[in-house]
Amino acid sequence: MFLIAAALAALAVWALVRLGRQTEGPRRGQWRIAATLLATALLGGGALALSRGAYIPGGGMIAVGLYLVVASRIRSLPVRREAVDEAEARSILGVGPDATPEAINAAWRRLIGRAHPDQGGTEGLAARLNAARDRLLSR
């Protein structure tokens, strides 16, 4: 009985730690929270069912719980690159029509430092900055 309680406590701690690390947007974050809570309940119930001798239902609950754990960790699809014209690319990066590749890269570095998703920016804004830089460097 102590092992069951310890396993359930470990599952609860795991769920709390995982919920504390949620960094996704509102739509994806809600799915992850719901999946984490449901997976915790399924894994705990499956362990309890296995300890009482109900092997098929317990195994099924654990399998579904593990599936939810894996499925909720899959990241969303990458942001689609947008096509930007040259004037819009210059406007996004804040460079003039006679900007050198060094000036374009310097402007991109300055802006991407703040717009990168790891620095609190969004994936869409970072993708627009990358598309603008690629457009201006490809001319």
Asked whether the predicted pLDDT for residue 52 surpasses 60, the reply is: yes
pLDDT tens-digit series, residues 16-47: 666 665 555 555 556 677 777 888 888 888 98
Asked whether the predicted pLDDT for residue 103 surpasses 90, the reply is: yes
The CATH number given to 86-137 is 1.10.287.110
Per residue in 108-138, is it b (16+ CB within 10 Å) or e — as a string? Answer: beebbeebeeeeebeeebbbbbbbbbebbee
Q: Which of 76-80, 81-85, 109-113 has the lowest mean pLDDT?
A: 76-80
Q: How far apart are CA 52 and CA 127, in angstroms?
A: 53
pLDDT tens-digit series, residues 130-139: 999 999 998 6
Question: What is the band of 110 on the pLDDT scale with cuts at 50, 70, 90?
Answer: very high
Q: State if pTM tops 0.85.
A: no
**Domain spans, the chain:** 2-73, 86-137
